Amino acid sequence: MKPILIVEDEAVMRESLRDWLTDSGYQVETAEEGEEALKTIAEQDFSLAILDLRLPGKDGIEVLREARTKSPQLKGVIITAYPSVQTAVEAMKEGAIDYLPKPFDLNDLEKLIRGTLGPVQVEIRPKAPAEIAVAEPAVVEKA
């Protein structure tokens, strides 16, 4: 699964979301402002971007608009402490799958992410024969 990008200028919120999503099993990258987010998106594919509406420079909707011209499959969620019908409609027109006013319940965000991306896929890799065959020297000598 491709990583999730969090674009949030408030450090506490950005780090809290990053830690929570990482603990939930997702790969996460972060950006502090719009131009940084666009540069990051140009360098790497993301399955989902969680974007604050009000960012330094380009706002979250502008970032989503520009990012989706380069990566049309990118899904976006706009989060904001300043919700309005106008920005919610604009966000949806630009391809946002949801618009969440802050503060929001992390369980609601988790349901949204799982509904959009599916459950976290845990890769189970069988051990290589060399990893299994390693034994302590004392055991090998007795055999």
pLDDT digits (tens, 9 = 90+) for 35-83: 999 999 999 999 999 999 999 999 999 999 999 998 999 999 999 999 9
- Choice between 15 and 114, residue whose per-residue pLDDT is larger: 15
Burial class of residue 139, CB neighbours in 10 A (0-12, 13-18, 19+): exposed
**Mean pLDDT to the nearest integer, 79-100:** 96
Query: In the prediction, which pLDDT does 117 show?
Result: 86
Give yes or no for a contact between 49 and 79, defined as CB atoms under 8 angstroms apart. no
Looking at the chain, the number of H-run helices and the number of E-run strands are: 7, 5
What is the C-alpha separation between 6 and 76, in angstroms, rounded? 10
What is the C-alpha separation between 19 and 106, in angstroms, rounded? 12
Lowest mean pLDDT segment, chosen from 31-40, 55-64, 87-96, 103-112 = 103-112
Cα-trace Rg, the chain: 20
Cis status, amide bond into 103, omega within 30 of 0? yes
What is the C-alpha separation between 27 and 13, in angstroms, rounded? 17
Task: Show the beta-strand stretches assigned E in 24-137.
Answer: 28-31, 48-52, 75-80, 96-101
Give yes or no for a contact between 20 and 31, defined as CB atoms under 8 angstroms apart. no
Burial class of residue 70, CB neighbours in 10 A (0-12, 13-18, 19+): exposed
Is 0.95 topped by the overall pTM? no
Please give the CATH topology (third level) of the domain spanning 4-142.
Rossmann fold (3.40.50)
